[in-house]
Amino acid sequence: MHDVIKLLEENPVQYFATIGLDGKPKVRPFQFMHEEDSKLYFCTSNQKEVFKEMSKSPYIELSVSTTDYKWIRLKGKVVFSDDMKIKKAIVEKSEIVKMVYKTAENPDFEIFYLEDAKAILADFSGNEPREVRL
């Protein structure tokens, strides 16, 4: 788990894939926000298309790579949460989130974690990719 979080934090622009409302894949930049109780948290607005996509089709995949050719593929089921403690932690941790949502109480501000998450860590070392269940 530590390797997954480290890679996500050191490479803050990740690419997040959903199934669009039109049934076609959609990929967009996203950012890992917080880990708590072995759950990886992200956030978005309930006014965005991505929120509607995840509400309809909750399985996502995320990927990011490093400049030295290591990468991660992370997948799981989106579970939305109203946990105010985690919302506040995210707002305090991220200047971007604070700028956009102002407070954790903003009714547009949504957080979610990945249930049954699995990460594949790989590189060009010749070693087999490593699977991490979260």
Q: Is 13 part of a structural domain of the chain?
A: yes
Residue 83 sits in a domain whose CATH number is 2.30.110.10
Q: Say whether pTM exceeds 0.85.
A: yes
What's the domain count of the chain?
1
Question: How far is C-alpha 53 from the chain's CA centre?
Answer: 14
Q: Is 115 part of a structural domain of the chain?
A: yes
- Residues 6 or more apart whose CB falls under 8 angstroms from that of 119 comprise 4, 72, 73, 74, 131, 132, 134
Q: Is 134 part of a structural domain of the chain?
A: no
What pLDDT digit, counting tens, does each position of 5-21 carry? Answer: 999 999 999 999 999 99
In a 13 Å sphere around the CA of 72, the CA atoms on its Cβ side amount to 28
Q: Is 91 part of a structural domain of the chain?
A: yes
What pLDDT digit, counting tens, does each position of 17-48 carry? Answer: 999 999 999 999 999 999 999 999 999 999 99
